[in-house]
Amino acid sequence: MTAHDSIVGAIGRTPSVWLDRLVAARGLSGRILTKLDYLNPGFSKKDRAAKGILDLAAGRGELAPGQTVVELTSGNMGTGLAILCAQRGHPFVAVMSRGNSEERARMMRALGAEVVLVDQAEGSLPGEVSGADLALVEEAARRITAERHAFRADQFRHPGNALAHERTTGPELWEDSGGALTAFADFAGSGGTYAGTIRALKARAPALRGYLVEPEGAAALSGGDVTRPGHPIQGGGYAMRGLPLLEGAPVDGYLTVTGDEARATARALAREAGIFAGFSAGANVAAALDLLAGPEAGGTVAVIICDSGLKYLSTDLWP
Q: 7 pLDDT exceeds 90?
A: yes
Distance CA 56, CA 72 (A): 19
Residue that terminates a domain, selected from 152, 174, 209? 152
Pairing of strands 16-18, 31-35: antiparallel
Per-residue pLDDT of 9-24, as tens digits, reads: 999 999 999 999 999 9
Are 19 and 56 members of one domain?
no
Distance CA 181, CA 254 (A): 18
Active-site residue identified among 177, 280, 308, 311: 280
Domain presence at residue 83 = yes
Residue range 106-126: mean pLDDT, rounded: 94
Are 133 and 14 members of one domain?
no
Are 70 and 124 members of one domain?
yes
Phi, psi angle pair for 211, to nearest 5°: -125, 130
Q: 2 pLDDT exceeds 90?
A: no
Q: 277 pLDDT exceeds 90?
A: yes
The reply to whether 46 belongs to the active site is: yes
The reply to whether 51 belongs to the active site is: no
Structural domain range at position 284: 7-44+161-312
Residue that terminates a domain, selected from 152, 178, 212? 152
Residue that terminates a domain, selected from 90, 125, 152? 152
Least confident stretch, 45-54, 95-104, 121-130, 163-172: 121-130
Domain presence at residue 292 = yes
Are 32 and 101 members of one domain?
no
Are 165 and 308 members of one domain?
yes
How many residues would you count in the chain? 319
Are 12 and 53 members of one domain?
no
pTM given for the model: 0.94
pLDDT band, residue 218 (cuts 50/70/90): confident
Are 165 and 306 members of one domain?
yes
Predicted pLDDT at 110:
97
Active-site residue identified among 35, 44, 45, 46: 46
Phi-psi region at 30: left, alpha or beta (left = phi > 0; alpha = psi -120 to 50):
left
The CATH number of whichever domain residue 74 belongs to comes to 3.40.50.1100
